[in-house]
Amino acid sequence: MISCLPLDLATGALLLWLGLGLSGLLLGGWPTLACRLVFPLSSMVALLLTTAGFTALTATPDHLQLRGPLPALPWSFQIDPLSGFFLILLGLLACAVALFATGYFRSLPGPALRRLMLQYHVFLLGMGLVLLAANAFTFLVAWESMALASYFLVVTEHEKADSQRAGFLYLLIAHLGALAILLGFVILAGATISQGGPFSAMLHAPLNAFWAATAFLLTFFGFSAKAGLLPLHIWLPDAHPAAPAPVSALMSGAMLQIAFYGMLRVDFLFLGKLAMWWGPFVLMVGLATALFGVLFAAVQTDMKRLLAYSSIENMGLIMVAFGLALIFRAHGLNALAALALAAALYHALNHAFFKGLLFLGSGSVLHGAGSVAMDRLGGMIRQMPQTAFFMLLGTLAIAGLPPLNGFASEWLLLQAFLLSPALPQSTLSAVLPLAASGVVLAVALAAYAMVKFYGIAFLGQARGTRHAHEAGRWERSAMALLSVACIFLGLFPGVLLNLLHPVLQEMLGQGFAIQQGLWLTPVSAQRASYSPVIFFLGMATALGLSFLLIWSFFGRPLRRVPAWACGFPIRTPAMQDSPMGFAQPLLRIFAPLYQAERQANDAGRWRVRIGEPVYRGIYQPLNRIVFWLSAQVLRLQQGRITLYLLYSFLTLLILLALWR
Amino acid sequence: MTITAQGLTWGIPLLRLLAALLLLLTFAMLAQRRLLTLIHLLAWQGMVLAAGTALVALLTGQSELWFSAALTLTLKAILIPTVLHRLLRRLQVRGDVEAVLNIPLTLLAGIALVIFAFFLAAPITALTGTVTRGMVGIALAAVLLAFLMMITRRKAISQVVGFLAIDNGLFFAATSATLGMPMVVELGVALDALIGFVILGIFFFQMRETFDSMDLQHLEQIREE
Amino acid sequence: MTAILLEGMQILLVAFLAPLFAGLLRALRAILQNRRPAGCWQNYRDLYRLFHKESLQAEGTSWLFRFAPYGIFGAFCLAAGIIPILATGLPLAPAADVIALVGLFALARVFQVLAAMDTGTPFATLGAHREMLIAGLAEPALLAALFTASLLSRSTSLSVIVAHLEQLRFALHPSMVFAAAAFFMVLLAENARIPVDNPATHLELTMIHEAMLLEYSGRHLALMEWGAQIKLVLYVAIGIALFLPWGIVPAAEIAALPLTLLALPLKFAAAALILALVETLLAKLRLFRAPEFMATAFLLGVIGLLSFFMLGA
């Protein structure tokens, strides 16, 4: 019965989450007690789920079938290394986020807290169930409950018009996506779907090229609606900032990755035989998404909106790695595919941690300073020193700087790109290194955006808010936890890559070279090596030595003086860069993309408004077309009963004619 | 047309280098804002071409190629650029080229064209031997880039430069990829280029008299209404 | 053991001779511009003076402001241990390949920019976002150039690249010619040299690098200036390792060291001459022409990559 353990553990943890959500409903009358009790317990349950994920990496895949609403539609669950890995991601993030929530939601009034606790846990449950689902029916029910719960969480502040709009857009696109996934599953499973056909029936589904491509496109569309890929990202920058910080952290850190999980399962395990063009297609979409996301992240003036665009960028990077894996796999180069896929999974995990950390930190700033609008912030490093420190780590990690974790996964991705000469197709192998340069551009601009994020909000002089308080103990411990995770993943990438071995084995039939100790050598030591620990120690030694030497030779106490600022007598916070001012060079260079408009507001200050080119270019025309079509349909509607009867009669005749 | 083993070790890499330089010069033309520099670049391209032809002559021992190299040098590296230079001064054209597209975007389009040329030339590359591998692709890329330059510029002189650059690209393909071509073809091409050049020169003066400018936008006026 | 000694020697040599190289460059530039140079040793005098001065900390700055000079200096010292300057196969070399090296430079830059933003003064923040812009556009060009070298030698480790390129002797690689051109342009941009930034400017509105140092004084300023000089030497050293590697020998072959020690100063002197020439001949670009400059560098890198695939070399 030992082999049964991971699945039991995971389903048990999910049931406990449901229980916690329901008990939150009961305990809502005592907000403080409810917060102190439910969220820490939820955090422990998340650890349980993580344990289940870890055991699933090594255990044999396992199934569980329960009776469903209809005899032919059973609930069906399974756990394998792939879902195990994503359970670890979900569990660890949920653990830290629940700790944060303990402190963050303590001031929420009873009824709101009651609703929130239920929705929050149903959201977690939905995500967990998606990972465990073993047939299309279970998967879609879980997928929809995840979407609905997160919709309710997005509209937590439902009295605001912005929240409502964000929620509506999110719901619309989520449903379009779900519809596409359903259709994709129908193609994959064929007749078995109505009998609650298990996923195993879809394994290496025997489809001809056309239907395989259709299934691929439909599922890719559906999952990318959730993952926020271009051009379906439109809901993301509105929805993530509207939700409370812990929910934003979960949505950005975990939910987007679960969409990636769906792609992995469908493309590698169900479709099996990959067409040549899928990889380049995914890679192009990913690269466009990454560049688009980072360019728009750099011009945002709201902390959480900036992070949301940065999530789009990171999903783009993951898609680039995924596309590269598809390319290698399609050409039968499984070892290289394993490298690219490892980079994708590694970056997914990294993103969960640093983006979670940054969203939580911006929640602390919202509570501490009362705003996340960057033109009202500044100098938070003095009022919230600890939060600022954790946020600095998160910023450095997401900006892809060594020796933190963001760099390690991007390093792996670039290594995978440099192996492109192994491809038999010469044009493709020549274009791939250029795509790698595009990735480098995205990463370098991400550093631009994140330096802006940190520098404007935490450094310099305070712009508006002068009084802010440090985050509470729960919040800080949650951020500390995620910071430690970022550092650990940055310093010991080998540990994670060894853990990924069974996942890659399952998907590609080929694992990743086992990593030795402190070294990261994806192919061979001759080819490339990177040792973050030695890197870090070397830098720390050089830093410490130079500090000691200089202090002992030239050390004199520092004198604090007013800033010189080139001798200008007046120095006001408004003389620093505004959030838009910091991005001004980009606004100018990429002017056609941004469609920026300058407007003067009542106070006589200039405001820059950024247009969303995708919204204007795709959604608005689409909107017009739909309205035009519906106006045409309106012509049929004359209001005369006889005419309607005529329609029915004609339909009947046509159907009969076809039937014959 | 046999090449000595010694020639293979240093001659072919040198030829490749020249090919790459040709591509670089064409890109530089695409990125250039000033007419005078554009003409200098054309002269450099002529020199690279002459050096390439001379190198092929040395490697294959075809004596008529020496003649061809000398012809290229005098015509393409010295004569035409000098005439263009004088023309520029006689016509007193203002120094800046007005580009239709902005430069970085043009360069990006250029990169795409090079990839396309590479894609087109891949089958040919597979056919030819290893010696001249990739030369066709580079020459094709140079031709396409020169074409792109003609499209994105407004001043008539840059059109002429583009035309001559296309000719250079073709010439390079002929000499380096096939390691030399018959003398008759060679002379014909040279004569063609010269005649085209003369015609365009006359056209310049006419244009100058009619519109008092070298801006091609003015040509839009003379269409039939 | 000798390898460790060599490693230590290399780091110390780079750190202590970097001001000399920068001084030489300044002197050459002065001569080329018909000015009387202050001598190669002027930078040492400057550093000495700065180290003995009092350091001031602007009000309202945090620990980042004080930490940054040491962080930047430490990062460059580590980089000096990784790049094969005296020999390949040094003990620190496998800790980071070229990509990680670029990451290390990026780390130092981010600390510098954050320290500048910490002061909250207008010119510092101006310099900060310009620096991030230039760096953001330079990085793809730099990596495109480095990718060419690593595709050619099937490795991203600088030591292996050097060893491989040395073996090839004087074989001409068109792709490497382009990569060298791209790298040179990036070197100019990243080290605040003339077409992009002016190291000797005193006009606040045009500054990039200097603007970020405005609030620094005393030993902190000395460290920042010294760090910038080391960075320049490191970039030149990477350039030498990639494009003129002859003479850099494996750490085990200690006998060849005198030759290296002879060749190296010559190479550096040549680099200084070229840099001085370029800075004399070119004029500083307007800030918004800088993206075009970087685009050209990127283009050269891309042509390098493409000609690697098209010409097979």
- Per residue in C298-313, pLDDT (tens digit) is 888 988 888 888 776 5
Dihedral (C-alpha) A76, A78, A84, A87: value to the nearest 10 degrees? 10
Q: With contacts defined as CB-CB under 8 Å, which chain B residues touch C173?
A: 13
Instruction: Quote the CA–CA distance of A85 and A409 in Å, as a whole number.
Output: 16
Q: Please name the residues between 541 and 570 in chain A that touch chain C, using a CB distance below 8 Å.
A: 541-544, 546-547, 550, 553-554, 556, 558-566, 568
How confident is the model over A379-398, as a mean pLDDT?
93
Q: Are the CB atoms for C262 and C184 separated by under 8 Å?
A: no
Q: How big is the CA angle at C145 (ends A491 and C131), to the nearest 5 degrees?
A: 70
- pLDDT greater than 80 at residue B148: yes
Q: Which of B102, B103, B118, B140 to mutate to test the interface with A (most CBs of A within 10 A)?
A: B118
pLDDT for position A308: 95
What are C286-289's contacts with CB under 8 Å, separation 24+?
Answer: C287/A585, C287/C130, C287/C206, C288/A585, C288/A588, C288/A589
- pLDDT greater than 90 at residue A178: yes
pLDDT for position A30: 82
Instruction: Quote the CA–CA distance of C121 and A571 in Å, as a whole number.
Output: 7
pLDDT for position C178: 87
Q: In the B/C pair of chains, how many CB contacts fall below 8 A?
A: 70
Token look-up 């016509």 returns B91
Domain residue ranges in chain B:
13-215
* Cβ contact C299–B19 (<8 Å): no
The whole-angstrom distance between residue C150's C-alpha and the CA centroid of its chain comes to: 19
Instruction: Quote the CA–CA distance of C310 and A262 in Å, as a whole number.
Output: 38
Token look-up 């600088």 returns C158
How confident is the model over A421-434, as a mean pLDDT?
83
Q: Which of A21, A205, A35 is nearest to A124 (CA)?
A: A21
pLDDT for position B131: 59
* Cβ contact A526–C155 (<8 Å): yes
pLDDT interval class at B102 (50, 70, 90): confident
Q: How far is C273 from chain A (nearest CA, A)?
A: 31
For residue A647, give both structure tokens: 């329609």
Considering only CB atoms, C128 lies closest to which of A382, A455, A563, namely: A455
| % of chain A residues with pLDDT over 70 | 97
Q: Is A517 helix (H, G, I), strand (E, B) or coil?
A: coil
Number of C-beta neighbours around residue A109 at 10 A: 9
How confident is the model over A250-270, as a mean pLDDT?
91
Considering only CB atoms, B107 lies closest to which of C295, C309, C313, namely: C295
Q: How much helix, strand and coil, in percent to the nearest 5, is found in chain A?
A: 75, 5, 20
For residue C305, give both structure tokens: 């990559």
Domain residue ranges in chain C:
2-54+61-311
Cα distances (angstroms) measured from residue A26 to each of A43, A100, A101, A392, A617: 19, 21, 18, 39, 48
pLDDT for position B70: 86
pLDDT for position A3: 46
pLDDT for position A2: 44
* Cβ contact B134–C172 (<8 Å): no
What are A24-30's contacts with CB under 8 Å, separation 24+?
Answer: A24/A113, A24/A114, A24/A116, A24/A117, A24/A118, A24/A120, A24/A121, A25/A114, A25/A117, A25/A118, A28/A110, A28/A111, A28/A113, A28/A114, A28/A117, A29/A110, A30/A110
- Per residue in B188-220, pLDDT (tens digit) is 666 676 667 766 776 766 666 666 666 666 666
- Per residue in C178-220, pLDDT (tens digit) is 899 999 999 999 998 888 888 777 777 778 888 888 889 989 9
Q: Are the CB atoms for C192 and C209 separated by under 8 Å?
A: yes
Token look-up 């853990």 returns A499
Contacts of A479 (CB under 8 A, 6+ apart): A96, A100, A357, A360, A361, A364, A386, A387, A390, A391, A471
Dihedral (C-alpha) B17, B21, B27, B32: value to the nearest 10 degrees? 160
The whole-angstrom distance between residue B69's C-alpha and the CA centroid of its chain comes to: 15
Average pLDDT, chain A: 88
Higher pLDDT, B170 or C131: C131
How confident is the model over B28-38, as a mean pLDDT?
82
- pLDDT greater than 80 at residue B182: no
DSSP for A596-622? Answer: -EEEE-TTS-EEEE---HHIIIIIHHH
Q: Does A455 contact C at CB distance below 8 Å?
A: yes
pLDDT interval class at C284 (50, 70, 90): confident
Question: Of A420-424, A534-538, A543-547, where does mean pLDDT reach its minimum?
Answer: A420-424
The neighbouring-strand residues paired with A75 are A66
Q: How far is A562 from chain C (nearest CA, A)?
A: 5
How confident is the model over A431-441, as a mean pLDDT?
90
* Cβ contact C312–B13 (<8 Å): no
The whole-angstrom distance between residue B48's C-alpha and the CA centroid of its chain comes to: 10
- pLDDT greater than 60 at residue A193: no
Q: Which of B53, B49, B27, B39 is nearest to B141 (CA)?
A: B27
Considering only CB atoms, C305 lies closest to which of A434, A562, A581, namely: A434
The neighbouring-strand residues paired with B99 are B153
Instruction: Quote the CA–CA distance of C3 and C9 in Å, as a whole number.
Output: 10
Q: With contacts defined as CB-CB under 8 Å, which chain A residues touch B136?
A: none
| % of chain C residues with pLDDT over 90 | 48
Q: Are the CB atoms for A613 and A295 separated by under 8 Å?
A: no
Q: With contacts defined as CB-CB under 8 Å, which chain A residues touch B122?
A: 426-427
How confident is the model over A577-589, as a mean pLDDT?
87
Token look-up 């992240």 returns A297
Instruction: Quote the CA–CA distance of A588 and A299 in Å, as a whole number.
Output: 11
Residue type, C10: Q
Q: Which of C206, C102, C201 is nearest to C146 (CA)?
A: C102
Average pLDDT, chain B: 76
Provide the b/e sequence for A345-372 (b: ≥16 CB within 10 Å): bbbbbbbbbbbbbbbbbbbbbbbbbebb
* Number of residues in chain B: 225
pLDDT for position A204: 62
* Cβ contact A427–B111 (<8 Å): no
How confident is the model over A397-401, as a mean pLDDT?
94
* Cβ contact B115–A426 (<8 Å): no
How confident is the model over C96-113, as a mean pLDDT?
94
Q: Which of B200, B171, B201, B173 is nearest to B186 (CA)?
A: B171
Question: Of A193-197, B50-54, B90-94, C187-191, where does mean pLDDT reach its minimum?
Answer: A193-197
Higher pLDDT, B122 or A88: A88
Question: Of A542-546, A606-610, C2-6, C220-224, where does mean pLDDT reach its minimum?
Answer: A606-610
pLDDT for position B3: 61
Residue of chain B with shortest Cα separation from C177: B17
Q: Are the CB atoms for B154 and B217 separated by under 8 Å?
A: yes
For residue C280, give both structure tokens: 């004399």
Half-sphere exposure of B145 (CA within 13 A, CB side): 31
Q: With contacts defined as CB-CB under 8 Å, which chain A residues touch B111?
A: 434
Instruction: Quote the CA–CA distance of B13 and C313 in Å, as a whole number.
Output: 8
Enclosing H/E stretch for A108: none
Number of C-beta neighbours around residue A58 at 10 A: 12
Higher pLDDT, C1 or A321: A321
Report the Cα–Cα distance between both ends of chain C, in Å, rounded. 37
Higher pLDDT, A86 or B187: A86
Instruction: Quote the CA–CA distance of B50 and B174 in Å, as a whole number.
Output: 13
Residue of chain A with shortest Cα separation from B126: A426
Q: Are strands A606-609 and A597-600 parallel, antiparallel or unpaired?
A: antiparallel
Angle of helix C42-52 relative to helix A532-554, nearest 10 degrees, comes to: 70
Q: Which of A414, A256, B214, A512 is nearest to C150 (CA)?
A: A414
Cα distances (angstroms) measured from residue C18 to each of A540, C26, C77: 21, 12, 11
For residue A613, give both structure tokens: 């080119």
Enclosing H/E stretch for C261: helix C257-281
Is there a cis peptide before residue C69, judged by omega within 30 degrees of 0?
no
pLDDT interval class at A488 (50, 70, 90): very high
Cα distances (angstroms) measured from residue C187 to each of C192, C201, C234, C237: 9, 18, 10, 11
For residue A654, give both structure tokens: 């046509």
The neighbouring-strand residues paired with A66 are A75
Q: Which residues of C touch B (CB under 8 A)?
A: 171-175, 177-178, 181, 291-292, 295-296, 299-300, 302-303, 306-307, 309-313
Q: Are strands A606-609 and C56-58 parallel, antiparallel or unpaired?
A: unpaired
Tell me the ipTM for this assembly. Answer: 0.95
Q: How far is C293 from chain B (nearest CA, A)?
A: 9
Q: Which of A47, A40, A146, A46 is nearest to A99 (CA)?
A: A40
- pLDDT greater than 70 at residue B178: no
For residue B62, give both structure tokens: 């075809």
- pLDDT greater than 80 at residue B4: no
Instruction: Quote the CA–CA distance of B103 and B107 in Å, as a whole number.
Output: 6
Among A294-303, B8-17, B169-178, B202-211, name the most confident range: A294-303
Considering only CB atoms, B24 lies closest to which of C178, C295, C312, namely: C178
Question: Of A506-515, B118-127, C172-181, C301-310, where does mean pLDDT reach its minimum?
Answer: B118-127
Question: Of A97-111, A178-192, A351-365, C20-34, where does mean pLDDT reach its minimum?
Answer: A178-192
- pLDDT greater than 70 at residue A362: yes
The whole-angstrom distance between residue B7's C-alpha and the CA centroid of its chain comes to: 26
For residue A582, give both structure tokens: 């910091």
pLDDT for position A1: 41
Q: With contacts defined as CB-CB under 8 Å, which chain B residues touch A431?
A: 115
DSSP for C102-119? Answer: HHHHHHHHHHHHHHHHHH
